[in-house]
Structure 1
Amino acid sequence: MSGFLAGLCVAVLPLLAAGFWLGRRTARPERLGGLGTPVEHATFQTLHTASLAAPPLRAGLTEETARKAARRLRSLLGTDALCLTDRETVLAWDGAGEHHREEVFQRLAGPLETGRGEAFRLTCDAPDCPLRWAVVAPLTVDDRVHGALVACAPRESAVLVRAAGEVARWVSVQLELADLDRSRTRLIEAEIKALRAQISPHFIFNSLAVIASFVRTDPERARELLLEFADFTRYSFRRHGDFTTLADELHAIDHYLALVRARFGDRLTVTLQIAPEVLPVALPFLCLQPLVENAVKHGLEGTTDQRHIGITAQDAGAEALVVIEDDGAGMDPELLRRILAGEISPSGGIGLSNVDDRLRQVYGDDHGLVIETAPGAGMKITIRLPKYQPGVHSAGRLPRP
């Protein structure tokens, strides 16, 4: 968070400088209503206006938030017109000369591509339009240009160029904080879902029912299954460490599959191909088991056909490559996209979207789930786990009681 605060300070101080400039240019020489000198009054006014513009921007850059913020930002700069854009369109225009919207956006290709601001002359034949110059200042978050702030004025001004750039930096900080808020929200939601749904209640009920069915006919088998159930639930409900090893996760999956095979019998076959060198690799706790549970749910439930689940873990240089594949019912790719995007929630279990979110949070967006599926074609899920990642350390296997 210190980096964001530092960025915020860097952005606010130039705003104060702009406030002092505006105070010298626009305020009366006499003291103003107990607020001190004209420069002090301009400073207070600058801070107040910035505080009013910040809340909408902390919700991200949309048409609604841009519309709410644009008027405050125009007041902050004292320009005749101001607009906010994303990479696709003008989101909001405040002030005179709105007929310049299309012309302005057409001139943004360079700044949106390079991230560098520029100024250009506006072409206008309207006698009552005061706008003749526009200053473009890109809005950048994490080195990526999200849009632009464009200030329009009657004449070219080096001071406006500098002021627009500093205000754009301040807006960028607000958008960066908005991204941080969304990331924290997604992480918290993912953790809560994981804690609440570590074990499917449906799976617990079915496992206990299977164990009960063997109590009289095969007590030894019932005892073995009860131990499998105890080991699996103990691992799933563990309370220490955010990460585990691939060996421990696969060990828990083995317990899970033992209970599933007891229920479905010969209808389920499982093959495992695990390279020993990847077993110590650390990964987010309870990350693979939900994917295997998903394969069972969509492969076996609701059908009497035989199904196969394959689990492989291979050494791929700096990464471990894990693949979970089934020949079940598969899924519509568009439905899958909506689930991963969080637009709809799957029923039961931790779900694919939760695992995808956690992988992206830990390793970055390029390490999310790679899923190949289609209706009737089964599902293949590929996961790339870096062998060495800062902050990713396993707590190790829990001792048996």
Structure 2
Amino acid sequence: MTVLGTAALALAGLALFVLGVALGHGAARRQREHAADSDGARALAQALHTAALAAAPLRAGLTPDTARKAARRLRPQLGTPALALTDDTAVLAWDGAADHHRAQLAQRLAQPPRTRAFPLSCDDAGCPVRWGVLVPLAADGDAPGALAVFAAAESGTLLRATEEAARRLSLELELAGLDRARASAHEAEVRALRAQISPHFVYNSLASIASFVRTDPERARELLQEFADFTRYSFRRDGDFTTLAEELRSIEQYLELARARFGRRLKVTLRIAPEVLPVTLPFLCLQPLVENALKHGLEETVERSNVTITAEDEGTEARVVIEDDGVGMEPERLRAILRGTAGPATGIGLSNVDRRLRQVYGDDHGLVIETGVGAGTKITLRVPKFRPGVQAPPP
């Protein structure tokens, strides 16, 4: 091989070596950049998680207890010597040092709510607090309180961090307000259902019980117990949800009282799959539907009425069907009932149950009603076996 050929081979080898080094450095740089991006993403996720944990107690509202818990979690996150949460008139919680500045902070709450940075005067030479920032919390168009953060010196970074933290706290207060509004609306709907428990049903039940007092005292005692258990369940206060087993037990008590009045005119058939009995559903969800079946099956005709209640397992859902062979109704009247435009005393139970099912499980879980004049009525509802946040109280 010539000298020229040897040199060429040497140069080619050197070029390959340099290229390899360059490629190696490029790969290493990309790996470092990827690691930096991953570290940044993890740090951001951790910061968001920490902020959520700090603000979480305010989901229950702004009280001294929730403010204390939130302040204790939030101060280490912001890295300040002192932090306070207030309502619109007083300091609810102070976490950290220098709580002798409470009075100065309370004085500033009398001023219109807006972000304020201010110096603090103190005779204590060792006090770690010389500057503070006060950021109002916002909820439902109001300023129910404020977040105050203190430091040894003025800091624009701390000011921005405090504003971000206040926004997170405000979000939890907004959610707390929505929770209260939803709970109030649900309670109002349940009160409407309780009020709809027909006074005629109560009167007729007591009249039926009275009719057995002399002729069959034991039967009167059993019916009185059923009436007491039914009303106790219907007017209970604990929880928005119940189990299918408890709801069916209440319906059996209701039907037992109805049988005492209607006798042979009423025939009820129950087909219940045992595996769906633990399924959770909204409280007082089925009783209004059964009352509707009896009303259209018996109270508007003189013929015998058949009512069938079926509960079946359908994989991830429980399917409940309540069917009667009564007078039925026109489809337009049914639509008016579900819209809530059929009158204050008509169909409150149907529209109420339909609305609550849609609120809890979504629009695809509303009532499905098949009816026609003289064709009876068939009401079907499907309830998911599991839904986060839907839980019956312990028995």
TM-score by length of 1: 0.52
Of 270, 273, 279, 2:271 maps to: 273
The one-letter code sitting in structure 1 at the alignment partner of 2:204 is N
The one-letter code sitting in structure 1 at the alignment partner of 2:211 is S
Return the offset for 1:303. Answer: 2.2
SS at match of 1:300: helix
Q: 1:370 corresponds to which residue?
A: 368
Return the offset for 1:218. Answer: 1.0
Q: 1:300 corresponds to which residue?
A: 298
SS at match of 2:223: helix
Q: Contact 1:320–1:385 at 8 Å: present in 2 too?
A: yes
The one-letter code sitting in structure 2 at the alignment partner of 1:320 is A
> For the residues of structure 2 that align with 1:235 and 1:348, how far apart are their CA atoms?
24
Return the offset for 1:344. Answer: 2.2
Q: Contact 2:309–2:323 at 8 Å: present in 1 too?
A: yes
Give the aligned CA root-mean-square deviation in angstroms: 2.3
Are residue 353 (structure 1) and residue 316 (structure 2) matched?
no
Return the offset for 1:339. Answer: 1.0
> For the residues of structure 2 that align with 1:216 and 1:302, how far apart are their CA atoms?
30
Q: 1:390 corresponds to which residue?
A: 388
Return the offset for 1:291. Answer: 0.3
> For the residues of structure 2 that align with 1:353 and 1:380, how far apart are their CA atoms?
15
Of 286, 289, 309, 2:287 maps to: 289
SS at match of 1:351: helix
> For the residues of structure 2 that align with 1:227 and 1:258, how far apart are their CA atoms?
11
> For the residues of structure 1 that align with 2:241 and 2:350, how far apart are their CA atoms?
18
Return the offset for 1:186. Answer: 6.5
> For the residues of structure 2 that align with 1:346 and 1:255, how far apart are their CA atoms?
27
Of 257, 260, 266, 1:259 maps to: 257
Q: 1:249 corresponds to which residue?
A: 247
Return the offset for 1:341. Answer: 1.0
SS at match of 2:299: coil
Q: 1:168 corresponds to which residue?
A: none
- Report the number of matched residues: 219
Q: Contact 2:357–2:366 at 8 Å: present in 1 too?
A: yes
Return the offset for 1:302. Answer: 3.1
SS at match of 2:320: strand
Q: Contact 2:367–2:379 at 8 Å: present in 1 too?
A: yes
Return the offset for 1:350. Answer: 4.6
Which structure's CA Rg is the greater one?
2
The one-letter code sitting in structure 2 at the alignment partner of 1:338 is A
Q: 1:149 corresponds to which residue?
A: none
> For the residues of structure 1 that align with 2:205 and 2:294, how far apart are their CA atoms?
14
Q: 1:323 corresponds to which residue?
A: 321
> For the residues of structure 1 that align with 2:238 and 2:187, how far apart are their CA atoms?
17
The one-letter code sitting in structure 2 at the alignment partner of 1:296 is L
SS at match of 2:212: helix
Alignment of 1:154-233 (within 5 A): 187=186, 189-197=188-196, 199-233=197-231
Residue segments in structure 2 that go unaligned for 5+ positions in a row: 1-54, 56-140, 142-177
Return the offset for 1:201. Answer: 1.3
Q: 1:312 corresponds to which residue?
A: 310
> For the residues of structure 2 that align with 1:186 and 1:374, how far apart are their CA atoms?
32
Runs of 4+ in 1 over 2 A off after TM superposition: 183-192, 194-197, 344-350
What does the per-residue CA deviation read over 1:28-64, in whole Å, with 9 as the maximum and x for residues that have no partner? Answer: xxxxxxxxxxxxxxxxxxxxxxxxxxx9xxxxxxxxx
